[in-house]
Structure formats: C-alpha cells, structure tokens
Amino acid sequence: MKPLVALVGRPNVGKSTLFNRITRQKTAIVDSTPGVTRDRHISPADWIGRSFLLMDTGGYSHDNDTISQAMLEQTMLAIGEADMIIFMTDVRSGLTYLDLDMAKLLRREFPDKPIFFAVNKVETPQLAIEGEAFRKTGFTNPYFISAREGSGVADMLDDIVKAF
Ligand code: GDP
Ligand code: MG
C-alpha cells in the first residue's frame, strides 16, 4: 500500500493549490479533461522516486469562512486513515483561532502521526519574518512555502518521503 498523506487546514489557506501542484503531473497523465483535477480529492503523487497518495480535505464545503461540525468530522475521519498529515496555515491572514484549535485537535487526536506544519503564501522576506509567530501553534519546525510559486515545497516533500 502506498502511504497516504492528508492535507488539512482551515478553508482558503491554499490546500487545493498545493494538492494540484504536487499531483498535477500524475493527474494530467491519468485524465486530461480540464477541471477533473479540481474535483478529485485523492490522487497519486511521486517525489524523488517515491510514490504516495495525496488527499485534499475540506473541499467538501462551499462555506469558506467557518469549519462546520460536519466538515470537521469528515476531515477527522479522513485524517484517521492517513499515515501522515500536512497541516497548512496562511501567513497572509495571520495565525487565527481556527489554526490554534486545529493544532490542538491534531495533537490530541493523532499524537502518533507525523505532522508536517506548513505556513503558506510566504513570498517575501517580510512574510517569512511574520511566519515566525506561527510557532505559537506548538509546531516549532514550520516549512515556509508558497503553494502558488512552489518555493519551499521541495524541502518539505524531501522530509515527507524520508518519513515513509
Ligand atoms: P483551500 O481552501 O485551502 O483549498 O485554498 P485554495 O487552494 O483554494 O486557495 C485559496 C486562495 O488562496 C486562492 O485564491 C489561491 O489562489 C490563494 N493561494 C493559494 N496558495 C497561495 C500561495 O502560495 N500564495 C498566495 N499569495 N496565494 C495563494
Ligand atoms: Mg480546497
């Protein structure tokens, strides 16, 4: 079985953007129909010769402002099946209560699962400085990434596949 890596975080932090970036190549081979990638929540991915499955979560709701209870339960079930977690936040919106709640919940519910903590949308040195505040989540080794531009993603994937 390929390892399953789940992408979690509150709406709008950039999960689907990262999902599409990491799985693009593969899904393009599997299905070239435009729009298909957007609607697929689990997709095969490769990094330096290692194969895994990447799962996007939270794409099930149209409500972008709150995490509904049903959505949270769905996400928690999905994470339960995952071997590893990428917990994503957004430096441009700052650290929010939802991020802190999610951090606490992840540690409490999944103490034994490897969690990779990503601070997304870091595209300037100033934003990297602001990203330091995200260590308050208790995740003290953040990956500063830009899902849109790709920076930092390679380093994070290197560490993820090493942990398989
Ligand atoms: P999701 O709700 O967590 O899946 O977030 P999306 O991937 O749908 O992205 C939400 C918004 O953030 C969109 O407008 C994206 O274009 C934007 N976004 C995603 N990643 C980045 C990034 O790395 N940098 C910036 N500046 N914007 C991003
Ligand atoms: Mg999404």
Q: Does the beta carbon of 89 lie inside 6 Å of ligand 1?
A: no
Nearest atom, ligand 1, residue 10 CA: 3
74 lines ligand 1 (CB under 6 A): no
Selected residue with higher pLDDT from 84 and 39: 84
Give the pLDDT of residue 71.
67
Task: With a threshold of 0.95, tell me whether the complex ipTM lies above it.
Answer: yes
Q: Give the C-alpha distances (Å, rounded to integers) separating 49 from 45, 87, 152.
A: 10, 23, 19
Q: Encode pLDDT of 91-148 as tens digits.
A: 999 999 989 989 999 999 999 999 999 999 999 999 999 999 999 999 999 999 999 9
Residue 131 near ligand 1, beta carbon < 6 Å: no
Contacts of 73 (CB under 8 A, 6+ apart): none
10, 13, 17, best to mutate for ligand 1 pocket (most atoms within 8 Å of CB): 17
Residue 21 Cβ contacting ligand 1 at under 6 Å: no
Superfamily of domain 4-162: P-loop containing nucleotide triphosphate hydrolases (3.40.50.300)
Residue 150 in this model has a pLDDT that exceeds 70: yes
Extents of the domains making up the chain:
4-162
Of the listed ranges 33-37, 64-68, 69-73, 102-106, the least confidently predicted one is: 33-37
| DSSP character string of 53-104 | EEEE-STT-S--S---HHHHHHHHHHHHH-SEEEEEEEGGG---HHHHHHHH
Burial 45-63 (b: 16+ CB within 10 A, else e): bebeeeebbbbbbbbeeee
Binding residue positions: 9-16, 56-60, 120-123
